[in-house]
Structure 1
Amino acid sequence: MVVMKAPYLNMSRTPWSQIAPPSVKAARLNPEADIGTMPAMFKAGAQKLKDVVEARTHRWHRWAEVVLPFLVLATALVVRKADWDLVAEAKFKVFDTYQRMAPRVWDPRLPVRIVDLDEETLRRHGQWPWPRTLVADLLRASCRGAGVVAFDSIFPEPDRTSPPSLAASLPAAASEARALLSRLPDHDRALSRAIAEVQAQGCQVVTAFALTNGESGRETQAKRPVLSRGEAPESFLARYKDVTPTLPVIERAAAGNGSMNNVPDVDGVARKAALMFSLRGKPVPSLAAEAVRLAQEGGDKAVYMLRATGQGESTGGAETGLTMVKVGALNIPVDSNGGVLIHFTPADTPRSVPAWEVLSPGFDPARLGGGIVFIGTSAEGLKDQRPTPMSSMAPGVEIHAAVAEQMLSGYFLERPDYADGMELTFILVLGSALILLMGRFGAAWCALLAAAAIGAFAWGSWLAFLGRFGGRRMLFDPVLPSLVVLAVYMFASLIRYLRTEAEKRQVRGAFSRYMSPDLVEQLAKDPTRLKLGGEMREMTLMFSDIRGFTTISEQFDAHGLTNFINRYLTPMTQIVLDHKGTIDKYMGDCIMAFWNAPLDVPGHEVLACRGALKMIRRMNELNDTWKAEAEVEGRKYIPVRSGIGINSGPCCVGNMGSDMRFDYSVLGDDVNLASRLEGQSKSYGVDIVLGAKTRAAAAAFAALELDLIKVKGKTVPVHIHTLLGDEALALDPRFKALVLKHEAMLAAYRGQRWDETDRLRLECEKESEALGLHLAKLYHLYEERAAEGRAHPPGADWDGVFTATTK
């Protein structure tokens, strides 16, 4: 049995002399003792051994009854705190059940309605998209009974039925028809004029846009600013890189413009709506937020305010994200990501009015409530259906309407910031109590205690959802904490049952299982932490080395050289770290660093270039210090210069080495090229050499092309550049003139026009010196090459490539 293993393993700690009776000891000391007494001797010794084993087994079981259930409890707490997808989905199902049991009661006095492009409307007026003139008619009709009209659809492309669009589609031979159509009104401008007309009459219009993560580079118009308080609240919003906007001619005419996006939970169900999103780092409002802003008095001039923790706001003592979004004069409590939990009304709520009725003569505008109207669709063919707690296929426009109703009425579902803490506390307190009380009161009484506590917590969760505690409708999960407590109870009961059974089996036949194993200890290690591996990432590499280090080191003893190296490496390392780089290794006086691993670093090429410029400036400051020290110590001062090579490209990065030792490092052809570029800085007399990819990504910096070169060990030539300054220098008119002249010099050199090369070289050298750029060695290098070209012309097929023979 497993329960017998541990005591037997520990027997080597108990000397035989303390277990065996005197007769057994005597038998060992006197081999000539009567062999007939041996069975009795061993029987006595075995009984003593059995007593020791049972005592130790009993103690082990007592500890197991407490320790193992606590391990189960701790594991459950970790799983619950991690809020894995499976755990989150279980919690969501409970809240969905609450919503179906007690949906929000729709109040017809709330001025929020939906003009529905339903199936009947599409049958009567044609399939979507409609001509923009018909959309304009629907807008005018809706505005007769509304103060704000919000389109839950975007108009990203010109109307294909518009006369100018039709004219453009006709062949060139139909010139008269094209001319006639071109003179007819443009439908998109007609809708824009309709928006202006209704807004002049007091009905505000909100257009929509869709946020994406594409790369179209399109923009959308923010109608009102979004202010913020606290610790960077915009960083907690759902982030997007791109947008599909409504046509500018329509978007500009509208008073509001909001995102129609919906961010579902992990199971795809829409339970909350974000009031704000982040587009390229800037907050933009949702469609519902824009509609509510404009529905308020003076809403066309109202602004938004994001409030996060760190500015007088806290969530249970922790700083966890957003706490409030102010929409005009309304303070809307939100979750950490700016979302509002939706308490849905029943699916058959009569807030929707078919669009065909709105367009019909004799329609009563009062049916639209005089407030906010969302124009959306419930037609299945238009694919704007979303699963919600109340329906597997609910129109997406109902989500916007439900959020607007809650914002206007001040009715909110809340998942309090202390909810997770309360649920974890319930698990910890009740689980610990069951474990500690199981041995004293038994499984039956502990079962009653667990049932009573779970029932009370579940009832309290339901009452909190109904708003019976101060009117706040709060969400607490009763199921998962109860299941965890039940699992702990069952495991503790199982351990106690197994202990009892084991003790009975020990009494009946433990000795029959007697064996005398050696004490074995095993050290268990986690092998996954030692697994080698890597990944391919787009990275920027930097190599930095002191030039002429051997000459410099000769003036120091071992202590002085160590001090010199440390004084150099420390500030240079700090600069790399300040610019989000990672130090790979030090190789004597050389620094190897990289960017964009192990974490993503946006703009890593620019950060590496900026860091390199700062390293050169810091080196100049160090030179001033070392010069002063050399004068005080009466030794020769040798200026210290460093060369830096920077290159970007795909590399393999990860834990590399042997099974005994490995480091997080980087490999790849672009790594080798970065090292070669650092070596070429001395040949060209510059401080920083950039590869082509790095230069392309940092195009705003001041740089000049150095050469088209085959570095040592490479067969493909690469364009290399020298980094001379930041964006300020790049914008200097004198530097711009130098760039043009320098490019002309390179063109003359590659075209074998040696006299022109010399003339332009001299002018470039003079202009660079005027800018404080010391490029004399670079231009003298081209002087030597021009002279060599005159003396030994390279031939008509020369491609201008220089082959480096040194690293």
Structure 2
Amino acid sequence: EFVDIDECEKTGEVCHNGECVEYKECHDINQNGKWDAGLDVVIVENDDESFRLIPEPYPYPRGSVWYRVIKNLTDAGAKVIIIDYIFDKPDHPTKNLVNYKINNGLDFPIIDGDEKLVEAVEYAESQGTKVIFGSKIAYEASRLPNPFYHLPPTDKIINNEKVIIYDGLVDIPTDSDNFHRSYWPFVQVDTTQYLSLGVEAVLFYKGIDGKKPIIDRDENTVTFNSTDGSKSFTIDYYPDRSKGFLINFLGPPSNSFNTFSRFPITNILDTQDYTLTSDQDYFDTEFGEMMYVEDQNWMENIIGPMAPFFASQGFINPFKGKIVVIGSSLAEEQDFKPTPYLNYKGKEYQFPGVEYHANAIQHMIDGNYIQSPLGPLEYHQGSNKWHLIIIATLIIVTLVFVSKAPPLWGFVVMAIEVVAWASYAIGSFLTDQLWLYKLIAGQELNMPGMGESAMIPILFPVSAIVLPFGINLTYKLFTEGQDKAFLKSSFGSYISPELIDQMYESKSAPSLGGEEGYNTAFFSDIASFSTFSEKLTASELVELLNEYLNEMTNILLGNKGTLDKYIGDAIIAFYGAPVETEDHEYLACLTCCQMNDKLEELRQKWKSEGDKWPVVVHNMRHRIGVNCGSLVTGNMGSDMRMNYTMMGDTVNLTARLESGAKQYGIETQVGSKIYEATKDRFTYRMLDYAVVKGRSEPERTFELISEKGKEPEVYKELIPVWDKAIEHYTNQDWDDAIKIFKKCDKLEEEYIGRPTTPCKVYINRCEEFKENSPGKDWNGAFKLTSK
């Protein structure tokens, strides 16, 4: 049968699924899509509005303000009234009046505020409403034998002869990070157990008169039974019982998000016989009376004579059958608790203590306990077995996957494990292990039902994943350092540190016996070194040679060269081995140019040292030969002693290029392959087409002058003249060639110790060829007769 919604509203009920049901806020508490019976707790706050509108001194008089609050809420049908204040001192206004009366010798009757408060409680009891006051566990260091003691309301309230006064502890547990997440069912001091404010309220709400907690340590619960055994109430402890139970908070603070129905205390006081005042009040001269702008008599709609009419019009009594928790949200009273909702949606919110108790009470009524199947979130002796199993399992799994993996893949594995465990923990709380997928896909997440959420530890399991990875990575880095140290001890004296790192990373240490590859060979020695030996003592010669070789070797290694050996003053090296190096021809030529520049610096330095060195040192020159091609590099020698070196025809030709530079009076001579590979980046002079001693095939050789753009200005004029002279030489135009070579020779650099110049060499050749022609089929090659 169809039910008229209007008919439901007239009776103060709400239409749901075609039926009129009693209004109990009727909303989805936990947003799980199911019809909820409604919240059982209502909050009444002493807020800023109340502080502004209540026309009485603070702290509020118990005989007027608190008397009216209890009486009005009782008339509104509240089932339990909780006052989250500790009235441990006599009523302040009453005490002031007594002192004033005595000090001034006056005689007038005084209505004691505490006695009036007791009258209000007596009235509430007569109407079936229970009133619970706040108490606490106080601490005094000097108090013996136990500095902790129970502090109830003042004696005139707690020990009155009219009515039993009930109190509950306002104390709550504090976690190590100073946040509050849990609630104590009771606290024991000496042999007495004192119930918390919330537990007292729930017991009264459920009609359970038994106050003795029965602890089941196996099931980790505490139970309260009615004296007739007809009713019981059980609380599920957190595994660490010292913390009570975890609160499954219903939401952020009600003053911002309406989690609980919340009313200012002024609404409770706002009746026809109580006036609220504000700075907007004024005297109406027309009617001859004060107009109290914010005094709306709100409570009359619930407990006044017209209350039945307002109820028929749909005005709902929010206090009927409820637990009403009264407390403060005034900043001055500092009763705020840091909870998980301290930060919410990027903003900070104050969480009043009164709302903390409200959450705990609703939590217990709903039985919405958070399960802890794997023990507490932190280490606890009673759950160490599960903790150790989890830790051991995660450590083993982590080490199995990361011990053999490279560091990057090990990190990926660790990250996957951490995300998987965190996802499992969050999914357990939401009762939805697909939450992450749904979140990414934009689907609606599942919301757990009452008592379905489970709290899974995250911190120590994640530590059991991260720490083994870190230890394994540290071990790998340590052993890698040892491996690198071994390579450096083996190759550090003739390979650059960068190449050693590259060898380690590419795992390409040279194999015994030798490897053939395309590399660049490098030879250099000091010109006329025997002269130095004659002019210097042995110790001076060693000092000079060490300085020279040190500077040149640094340049060599800095350009990724591999030092083969020193032979006296000679440096033998190669590029591209033991680790393949890109552009090794360029690096070898760059080394030549930098060595030539460095030698010039050394000459200037030696000159600046005065008589320390003879003139021959001031004019030191060296010769360099560079060539590239196929050569063999590797450990060669005997099983007792090996040397990492090179050999091959390319090596022999390079040695001839270095020694042959002396015949032309130049510093650096390179082969044709080097020229072809680097001609765009260096300035060259085509030197000769010669058959070096020990070879049968001619090789076109070049003088390396400098990097492009850094050549001396004279070469810009010299090289074109030289090229023209070479053209006449090749065409066997000897006289013209001699004439042009002589012109070119005037442009050649002259320095002490230069035995000849390329131009002089060619002039002599032309003179010889004029006498002994090479013949018409001559290809321009010249056979050198000395090394």
* Greater RCO structure (CA 8 Å; 6+ sep): 1
TM over 0.5: no
Q: TM-score, normalised by structure 2?
A: 0.37
> Larger % of helix: which?
1
Q: TM-score, normalised by structure 1?
A: 0.36
- Name the larger-Rg structure: 2
